[in-house]
């Protein structure tokens, strides 16, 4: 499917009004969205549809909630102020509560899933229920770009750097290195077996290469 077709398929599954869907698309399509934009959510949706075949994550009710979390999880993205995940969850709740509304528990599952994307690695395992596993599936999907082929991984890094354009080079390098070291220290990056089997080794190779490159910067002559 093309990106446009993936986006259309994703957004039509989100149980909010057409106006609310257009608002999400407008926000995600802003020019400053170099990484956290429409291509990102289309990629996650494509990956979910492909990898989720034959799993409970493709059950209609669960998939509706996952589509909503994917579509809204970066709907507000402000790297200067922070709190984007809580703001995105609030943006979701408003139209989700309008008729015909989802049950309150379903609305809050999506909101809670959006909120825990603030710290994928620190998010608790949660209950071993279908929705508990679905939350981990969403978190894992959001980390799968770590396993992109090296040229794409490098492009993602450049796009993220552009989104953090207010930082100095030293600030960016220090923050990125700290994040990479935290990733490398994790006993596992992905907590759902199907995604882990496909992406864990590739993600770790990218992280190791990026850390080596950072170390090379520090050892380069002035």
Please answer whether residues 203 and 147 qualify as being in contact, where contact means their C-beta atoms are separated by less than 8 angstroms. yes
**pLDDT score of 222:** 44
* pLDDT tens figures, 44-97: 999 999 999 999 999 999 999 999 999 999 999 999 988 999 999 999 999 999
Token readout for 115 is 């909120």
Which residue bears the tokens 């490098």? 154
Q: Which two tokens stand for residue 181?
A: 């070291």
Query: How far apart, in whole angstroms, are the C-alpha atoms of residue 35 and residue 33?
Result: 6
Residue pLDDT, tens place only, 21-55: 999 999 999 999 999 999 999 999 999 999 999 99
User: How many folded domains does the chain comprise?
Assistant: 1
The pLDDT of residue 218 is 64
Cα distances (angstroms) measured from residue 180 to each of 72, 134, 171, 205: 25, 25, 14, 12
Per-residue pLDDT of 178-222, as tens digits, reads 999 999 999 999 999 999 999 999 999 999 999 999 888 765 544
pLDDT tens-digit readout, 114-137:
999 999 999 988 888 999 999 999
For CA atoms 47, 48, 49, 50, give the dihedral sign. positive
List, for residues 159-174, the tens digit of each pLDDT value. 999 999 999 999 999 9
């Amino acid at each position: 499917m093309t990106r446009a077709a993936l986006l259309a398929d994703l957004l039509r599954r989100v149980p909010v009004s057409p106006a609310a869907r257009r608002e999400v698309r407008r926000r995600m399509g802003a020019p400053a969205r170099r990484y956290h934009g429409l291509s990102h959510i289309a990629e996650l949706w494509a990956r979910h549809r492909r990898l989720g075949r034959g799993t409970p994550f493709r059950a209609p009710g669960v998939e509706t909630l996952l589509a909503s979390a994917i579509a809204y999880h970066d709907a507000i993205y402000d790297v200067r102020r922070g709190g984007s995940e809580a703001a995105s969850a609030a943006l979701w709740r408003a139209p989700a509560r309008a008729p015909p509304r989802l049950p309150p528990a379903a609305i809050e599952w999506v909101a809670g899933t959006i909120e825990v994307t603030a710290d994928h690695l620190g998010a608790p395992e949660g209950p071993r229920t279908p929705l508990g596993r679905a939350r981990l599936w969403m978190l894992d999907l959001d980390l799968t770009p770590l396993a992109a082929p090296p040229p794409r991984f490098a492009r993602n890094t450049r796009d993220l750097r552009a989104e953090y354009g207010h930082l100095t080079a030293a600030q960016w390098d220090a923050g990125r290195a700290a994040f990479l070291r935290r990733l490398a220290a994790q006993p596992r990056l992905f907590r759902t077996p199907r995604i882990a089997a496909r992406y864990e080794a590739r993600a770790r190779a990218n992280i190791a290469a990026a850390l080596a490159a950072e170390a090379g910067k520090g050892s380069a002559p002035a």
